[in-house]
Every structure is written in C-alpha cells, then in structure tokens.
Amino acid sequence: MHARTWLLAAMALTLPAGCDDPTPPMGDPGETDAATEGGGSEAGDGSTGGEATDGSDGSQDGSSDDTAGESTGDGPSDGYPPEVEEVLDLPWPPYDYDEPLPAHFQAPPVQGMDNTPSDNEITDAGATLGRVLFYDRTLSANHTISCSSCHGQANGFTDTATFSEGFDGGLTGRNSMSIANARFYAPGHFFWDERADTLEDQVLMPIQNEVEMGLTLEELVDRVSAQPYYPALFEDAFGDPDVDTQRISWALAQFVRSISSYRSPWDEGIEAGGTPGGPFPNYSAQENRGKDVFFGPGRCAVCHLGQPGPPPPPGAPLPNVAIFMLNEAANNGLDAALVNDDNGLGDVTGDPGLNGVFKSPSLRNVELTAPYMHDGRFSTLREVIDHYDSGVEDHPNLDPRLRAPDGSPQRLNLSEADKDALEAFLRTLTDDALIEDPRFSDPFRE
C-alpha cells in the first residue's frame, strides 16, 4: 500500500517520543511563546522545548494555503532518484506503515484511545519521510544528535541513560520515555508533565531545545531544505518539495504513531484465545502465575489496562487487553512531600493539587526501557515492583487506586515468589519483532 492522502493538521498535543528537559527552546519569543508552557525539553517522552508557532497554519509565512497539506500523487512512481538512494536505504514502494492491527486492538474502547487526528492520518510516504527526519542528525546544531539518539529502537525507543545527552554534552532534565504506542494515549498530551497538547506539537520541541538539539525553527527549515535527499521525499508525501515546519511536524508525528507494539508473547496468547482470567498456552507456569498476580493481588491491571470511564464490574471482560498504559497522568507515590524539585503537572499548571502528577509510560517492552520513572531513580524492574509492594509514599496527591481502604498507601505484601513471577510476566510484554522491524530502523547508509 502506498497511501498519498494528506490533510491539514489542526490538533495540538503534548511517554512514551524526544526528551523531557525543562529548558527553554531556541528562537525568539514570537516563535515559541505558545509552546513553552512548563519549560523546554524533557528527557522523557521524546519531546522538549517549546511548541512551534511560526504561523497559525504552519506555513512559513503564516499565510493560509488550502493545498499545503494535500498530496497530488505526483511523487516518484518508479523509485527514488539517485540523490536519495546514495544516502538512504529505502525500499520502493515504501513500507506499509498503517497495516491492520490484531483483533484486540480493534476493540471499540481501544480504538477510542487513538489520538490520531483526522487531518494527519498515517500514510506510507509521510511516515517514510518522518523516519528519515527521525534519524537525521542534521536536525541538531552540530550534526551529532537525532531523535533516535534518545529513542533507540533496540531499547524500546528510549534511552538507557538516566538523563540523555544533548548535542553539546548537556543533560536533559528527565529520563527519556518510550514512544511506542504513543498513538493510543487517549488524552493526546505528551511529555512527563503533559505540557505538549498534541504529538504534532511535541515532535518539534526537542529540536528547539537548547540542551537537546539546539535549532530554531527557521534553522530547521533551512537545514532540511539544504539536503538533496529531501525534495523527492517531501514531494512524495505532500505533492511538492516545499519544506516548512508544519510538514516536518506532520511527517514526524506520522512516523511516531506508526510505531505500534503488538507482537509480544502476551499478544500471541490473546490471539490464541487466552483471557486474563485463564492460563495462556504459550506461557510458562511462572509467567501464568505472574499474570495472575498482575490482575489480582498485585493490583496492576486496574491502572495499566485502564480506559476512560468507570471500571467494568468484577468478572466482566476487560474492554482493553491491548494498551498497557494509564489513560491519565497520576501520582504514584514516589515522594511524600507536596513540593519537590520536579513537581510534574503541578509546575506546568501552577496547581499544587497536581504536584507529583506525571504521565505514565507504557509497560510494553518495559524489560528494555530501564531506568524507570521520570527521574530514572529505579534501575531494575524488581525495584519498581518493590516500590508498589511496600514503598508507596503518602503524598497528598497520591492516586486513590494506590491507597488501602483505610486511606493509607497500599502495602501488597507480595511474596518473593510472586515478585519473581510478576517480573517474568512483565517480560512477556517484550516485542522482539518491533525491536527488529526494518520499518523503524535507521535508513541512512552510513
């Protein structure tokens, strides 16, 4: 399939795919005021700096162009020109970036979590362009950093460092959050503190951040326009080779949304007819025990397989068995004090009732995404399990789901065997096919 349709993007969005570093973006206030709510980059979910506001419709001169986002279908029809093939290893026709997902992803509650705007749906040409932009180090001030530097495919699209290193050696303010399944976060906000309103906004912020990539939007457009391999890719995606920040944003957002994790042992078990309440035929006894802990005494599923609306009655089928991600930001009891060095949404909104509230990353590929939490304080999965078992702090804004019936922080009192089993289950969420999928790999030949 080679989809070429493209419409103007209007949705604005904030995981777990740049970094999370509260440093101001580059450029003058007129470019970035609307995007710097809560600061600059965050080394957590693939975004940084401020939002792009170089024109209400994203065009470079701020004027309206009714055809700016439409593809005419006049791109290359029989392969890429030499200036593309000399630099990039891209298949022709392009990869399918919007292939059908399995049945448990097609359930209405799961589809309702999809934050893809109707005017920026995934196309093969658009996601291909986004892939190149994602891996292109030209998009940083000294040509050393790309989006993939903090969101490595081998690491579940995150960074193994506690804080990611920017183009000039500086460190981001938060841990890098995985961007896999970013499209299935219903609120549609990005960064640990959710300061970006849409994914289209978020993807430009790390590029502008003075620690991460260090370009202004004007410099970004100049850099991209100067590369000989981009005209054909922009033409294929949009119908002409014109470059502007909106098109860069759209393409990057399409690529990020195409990174879906759905081929883990968990998915194999669901597709084989397994249910959360029964054993999976492809699981070991320990993994099945861990699944029982996850859905039972570990009290994990109530948050990590949640969905908008009230929880289903006990024993009822779960509406969502696909997206292992909280559907809203929450306080998970990392600290007891109301005010800390990093207060998450509280710092963005100025509301102390949101202090300590952060977006939560997906549990998919959690085996690969250490260290954990917004500040990378936990190095291992066992440390995370121990936190929820016996380490939840009594923060004033602690999520009610983490409180015991008497109002105190939960104490699960899991046995060591149950903790071992839970960790084994969490490892069944690793999607090796995603980690090895060439569609999401570095396309540059060197």
What local confidence, expressed as pLDDT, does residue 312 receive? 64
Q: What are the structural domain ranges in the chain?
A: 29-260, 265-430
Q: Going by C-beta distance under 8 Å and a sequence separation of 6 or more, which residues neighbour residue 26? A: 32, 49, 208, 209, 210, 214, 215, 216, 219
Q: Residue 26 has what pLDDT?
A: 52
> For residue 66, with 0-12 CB atoms within 10 Å meaning exposed, 13-18 middle and 19 or more buried, which class applies?
exposed
Those residues with Cβ within 8 angstroms of residue 258's Cβ, 6 or more apart along the chain or in another chain: 97, 98, 122, 127, 130, 439, 440
C-alpha angle 318-324-329 in degrees, rounded to nearest 5: 105
How far is CA 244 from each of CA 115, 127, 222, rounded to the nearest angstrom?
Answer: 23, 16, 9
Question: Which CATH code is given to the segment(s) 265-430?
Answer: 1.10.760.10
What secondary structure, in 3-state letters, does 253-286 show?
Answer: HHHHHHCCCCCCHHHHHHHCCCCCCCCCCCCCHH
Q: Which residue has the tokens 């960790």?
A: 423
Instruction: Identify whether the C-beta of residue 190 lies closer than 8 Å to the C-beta of residue 174.
Output: no
Per-residue pLDDT of the chain (446 residues), as tens digits, is 433 333 333 333 333 334 565 554 554 333 333 333 333 334 334 333 333 333 333 333 333 333 333 333 444 567 999 999 999 999 999 999 999 999 999 999 999 999 999 999 999 999 999 999 999 999 999 999 999 999 999 999 999 999 999 999 999 999 999 999 999 999 999 999 999 999 999 999 999 999 999 999 999 999 999 999 999 999 999 999 999 999 999 999 999 999 999 999 999 999 999 888 899 999 999 999 999 999 999 999 999 997 655 666 666 778 899 999 999 999 999 999 999 999 999 999 999 999 999 999 999 999 999 999 999 999 999 999 999 999 999 999 999 999 999 999 999 999 999 999 999 999 999 999 999 999 999 999 98
Provide the pLDDT for residue 314.
64
Task: Report the CATH fold assignment for 29-260.
Answer: Cytochrome Bc1 Complex; Chain D, domain 2 (1.10.760)
* Tally of CA atoms within 13 A in the half-sphere of 271 that contains its CB: 12
Q: What is residue 424's predicted lDDT score, i.e. its pLDDT?
A: 98
Q: Do domains 29-260 and 265-430 have the same CATH topology?
A: yes
